[in-house]
Amino acid sequence: MEQAKPSDFIRVNAKNRGLVSKEINLHLGCYEARPDIGAVIHTHPFIITAMGTVLAKRKRLASSMGLGTPSDISSSVAIIKYYQPGSKVLAKAVSKAIKKADCVVMANHGLVVVGRSLKEAYKKTVDIEVNAGKLLAKSIK
C-alpha cells in the first residue's frame, strides 16, 4: 500500500460497478451501512484471518482477545462466520457487522476495514494484523 499510485485504484460507484472485483457488493454495502466512512479496504492477512476462523468457531468476541483497539485508533473488531467469497450473503453479513465495528474478520477468508480515509483504513488494517501477531506470539510463550 505504501507504494500504491493513483493509477493502481479504480473509481466505482453504485451505478458504475464495472468488473473490478467479485467483492464489489461487499464494498458498496459498507458505504451504504456507514455514511461516515470514506474508504473500505479488503485484504487477506494471514494471522488475523486464522485467528478469526478459530474464534468464529468458538463464538468468542474479538474484544475478549485483546484485538479491540488497534493502536491509537478507537475501533472495534467483529468476527463473522464463513460465507462464500463474492456472495450476496457475505456482503449482507459484512454490511450488518460493519455498522457496529470498523474491522470485520471473515472466518476462512480475510478482513474488511473501514475508515474516514484510505490512510486511516490502511493504518487500522496494518495495526490489527500486527496486534494479532503479538497476541499469537504471547500465546506461544
Q: Which residue is nearest to Zn ion (CB)?
A: 110
Map residues 59-98 to x or -, x wherever contact with Zn ion holds by CB under 5 A.
----------------------------------------
Rounded least distance, CB 82 to Zn ion, Å:
12
Rounded least distance, CB 74 to Zn ion, Å:
26
> Rounded to whole angstroms, how far apart are CA atoms 115 and 16?
22
Stretch that binds Zn ion, among 28-36, 64-72, 74-82, 102-110 (CB under 5 A): 102-110
Would you count residue 110 as binding Zn ion (CB under 5 A)?
A: yes
Would you count residue 29 as binding Zn ion (CB under 5 A)?
A: no
CB neighbour burial string for 1-30, b if at least 16 within 10 angstroms, e if fewer = eeeeeeeeeeeeeeeeeeeeeebbbbbbbb
> Rounded to whole angstroms, how far apart are CA atoms 118 and 39?
5
The residue (of 29 and 110) whose beta carbon lies closer to Zn ion is 110
Question: Counting beta carbons within 10 angstroms of the beta carbon of residue 103, is it exposed (0 to 12), middle (13 to 18) or buried (19 or more)?
Answer: buried
Under the rule (CB under 5 A), what is the footprint of Zn ion?
110
